[in-house]
Amino acid sequence: MKHLQLGAVLAVMAFALLLVVGVPLMAAVTDDAVTGKVTAYESGKTITVQVGDASKEYKITGDTKIEGDVAVGKEVTIEVKETVVTKITVK
């Protein structure tokens, strides 16, 4: 019985350690890709993309790669890292 209790305690501690160590590591790698329709675009500053019923605004920098002509109403895929758009691809 003691071995079972010890195993359970070790399992809970291992899970807690995984949460404490793993979550910050996962948060550091926040690459996402979003595909949707452009609802607003300000060159060099922001792009707003609607996906389903939700829309979200993203920051654009001088390092953002743009493939195609971005315009309101066009379908795009954007790649985001830490809230900044790294690449926009117009479909």
Could you report the per-residue pLDDT of 35-80, keeping only the tens digit for each? Answer: 999 999 999 999 999 988 999 999 999 999 999 999 999 999 999 9
Residue 7: the pLDDT is: 77
70 or 28: whose pLDDT is higher? 70
Residue 88: the pLDDT is: 95
Rounded-to-5 percentages of helix, strand, coil across the chain: 30, 50, 20
Q: Which residue has the tokens 């305690």?
A: 9
Residue 17: the pLDDT is: 66
Residue-range domains of the chain with CATH: 31-90 (2.40.50.320)
pLDDT interval class at 32 (50, 70, 90): confident
Rounded to an integer, what distance in angstroms lies between the CA atom of residue 54 and that of residue 72?
Answer: 16
Q: Which residue has the tokens 């691809």?
A: 89
Is it the case that residue 3 has pLDDT exceeding 50? Answer: yes
Q: Is 83 helix (H, G, I), strand (E, B) or coil?
A: coil
Is it the case that residue 20 has pLDDT exceeding 80? Answer: no
